[in-house]
Structure 1
Amino acid sequence: MKILIWNCRRTGNNTFKRNLRELLRAHKPEILVLMETKVTFSSFGNFFNNLGFSASTVVDPIGRMGEIWLLWDTAHVNVHTSSVSNQYIHATIHKEDYEEWVLSAVYASPNPVTREIFWEELERTATNMNQAWLVAGDFNNFTDHSERRSFTPNHNFTRAQRFRERINNCNLIDLGSVGPRLTWTNNRQGLANTMERLDRAMSNAQWRTLFFLEGTVRTLPRTYSDHSPLVVFTQGKLKLNTDGCSRGDPGQSHYGGLLRDEVGSWVWGFQGYLGHCTSLEVEIWGIYRGLTIIMQKGMSNITIERDFQAAMDLIRDGAASSSPFRAIVEDANFFLNRCQCSIQHVPREGNQSANALANLEANQQEHLIYLEDPPSSILSLLITDMVHASVNSRRD
């Protein structure tokens, strides 16, 4: 199941509609949550019906309050709304072959006093919660200094501490995310720019165990709004593709890789320079670098795809004691098992995006460059991969 959650900061114009269509086409969510819509739901006519979202629960704006829309595709999921306020919608989610669970779609007020009312009500809900529970949306708050980047100091440590206390009082677990960490920007330039992590998904332990062991939360790049959309994948399988490029064997070598979701959308990528080495060595290093990023991000259950069988066999089966690659192979194998990842072979044509990253900058000599967004030169390859992923999922 997939849930798209977005503080879209004004709807109703053609730019919003075009951006939303692209998001829905790429990620195909069954449930859609929109916040800060600024217009009434009725003004959209049949727009959402035509996109496949034929049912909804709506909190339209009342002055500067409210503005949460919860929509769903009745062909795939049934939703029963149990409680509504101007800061949340509580609903029970029914899907075939899934255990019933509760979704709280949140738009917490930017006003601290009003926001406290929301948390008091949420804590009462948590006290009586006996089902799997997901709480997601814009909380208009951050938990610590790592979730804020600004040249303007913020000394309101009490506010962040209180936010953490509220989360703990509700027995919620932050599900984290992959992609850009900070979800909101004030859109100012230079020293006036501020970015914060205001949007997140949290759950109780029951929901995490039932639905999230093979799931992920992905933060998408900002486009139309000053907030990034979030996509919650309850059972989405992520794939890491890596490749190496050696100009000669041995020769000057670069590697590259990218993590993608089940429909082929970019999550993050990397590239790096290894120096003068063999083609086998740079292929091993590409896999190793990808695994170290997975480890650092606390991720697991990722399928690694490669088109170089010899490198795969070494990492999976181990290197001989006399092999010059023994140390790096042992480290890669440790990360592979620790993160519960698997490795499999793909044809060369299925690894084109990783190959393009490895060949992208022949003259760059940084050992590792982490990429939050895809380079423009590989966008056409990513789109091709997404089309192939969509065709394969329909066949399955």
Structure 2
Amino acid sequence: MRTLAWNARGLGGPRAIHILQNLKREMDPEIMFLMETKLGVQALERIRIKLGYLGKLVVESVGRSGGLCLFWSDRICADLISFSRFHIDVKITSSESKLLRFDWLLWQSRFNTTGPFVDVVTEEGPPRQRRLIEEFREAVDDCELMDIGFRGPGFTWSNRRDGSAMVQERLDRGFQYLLWHQMFPNSFVQHLGYWKSDHRPILVEILTASDQYLVVGERRRRRFHFEACWADCEECDVLASSS
């Protein structure tokens, strides 16, 4: 199973839609989570149709700020647990009858660094921002989470400047519980390229011990029986048809 997450910094305009269509075509994620959409329900419904996803859950932006959106394909069943302006928590059942729980979190605190890079989990950062970094670490520790790790470039955010003015950070990442890691030990996060946003999209590939490592970008075709996944899931059916 693949899930793609991207802090898009706004989805208005044809360029952003074109980028999403390319990501959908090349990565084929069953789940797509978008942060800072800066859009309302109707605009995101049009994007859902263009991308060909079955269902969506939208947390609308406040004016031109924020906004979350979760799309999912007909290969999975999504059961909403909770949501807010800063997170979406769902239970996922895949077409292979794998039951997963995902919590997509938008960490709102910005770490405006002055050095060449900052890893917000392992680096201290400037003094005035140590409290924010420590709060992030405490949240990770309290939830007993482990970083999944990643492949690709080392950082997921850049101020897109040249030379000594460049700042890079690893702000976007995936975490897992120990039990989750034991169930899906070959899973990994792939850092993708920069497009419109100053954040890279990240792709989470969920693999069990028996799964083979898959090449990012390789299209996979799987059989899926819609009735088997959705027939007994009333809430999922409501989510899929909501707008």
The bucket for the TM-score relative to the shorter chain is: 0.7 to 0.9
Equivalent residue, structure 1, for 2:192: 220
- Pair 106,50 (structure 1): closer, same or farther in 2 beyond 3 Å: same
Q: Provide Cα deviations, 1:279-334, integer angstroms capped at 9, x if missing partner.
A: xxxxxxxxxxxxxxxxxxxxxxxxxxxxxxxxxxxxxxxxxxxxxxxxxxxxxxxx
- The Cα of 1:54 is off from its aligned counterpart by 2.1
The whole-number CA distance in structure 1 between the counterparts of 2:198 and 2:65 is 19
The whole-number CA distance in structure 1 between the counterparts of 2:133 and 2:41 is 33
Q: Does 1:6 align with 2:13?
A: no
Equivalent residue, structure 1, for 2:161: 188
Q: Does 1:145 align with 2:123?
A: yes
Question: What does residue range 115-264 of structure 1 map to in structure 2 within 5 Å?
Answer: 142-145=120-123, 154-155=126-127, 156-211=129-184, 213-235=185-207, 237-238=212-213, 261-263=214-216
With a CA cutoff of 8 Å and minimum separation of 6, indicate the structure with the bigger relative contact order.
Answer: 2
Equivalent residue, structure 2, for 1:42: 42
Give every structure 1 segment of 4 or more consecutive aligned residues whose post-TM-superposition deviation is greater than 6 Å.
Answer: none
Count of aligned pairs between the two proteins: 213
Greater helix fraction, Structure 1 or Structure 2: 1
Equivalent residue, structure 2, for 1:90: 89
- Pair 105,193 (structure 1): closer, same or farther in 2 beyond 3 Å: same
CA contact (8 A) 1:65 1:86 kept: no
SS at match of 1:33: strand
Equivalent residue, structure 2, for 1:21: 21
The whole-number CA distance in structure 1 between the counterparts of 2:75 and 2:53 is 10
The whole-number CA distance in structure 2 between the counterparts of 1:394 and 1:188 is 40
Alignment gaps of 5+ in structure 1: 113-140, 147-152, 239-260, 266-388
The whole-number CA distance in structure 2 between the counterparts of 1:96 and 1:24 is 19
Residue type of the alignment partner of 1:262:
V
The whole-number CA distance in structure 2 between the counterparts of 1:179 and 1:82 is 32
Q: TM-score, normalised by structure 1?
A: 0.50
Equivalent residue, structure 2, for 1:57: 57
- Pair 196,111 (structure 1): closer, same or farther in 2 beyond 3 Å: closer
Q: TM-score, normalised by structure 2?
A: 0.79
- The Cα of 1:94 is off from its aligned counterpart by 1.1
The whole-number CA distance in structure 1 between the counterparts of 2:44 and 2:191 is 26
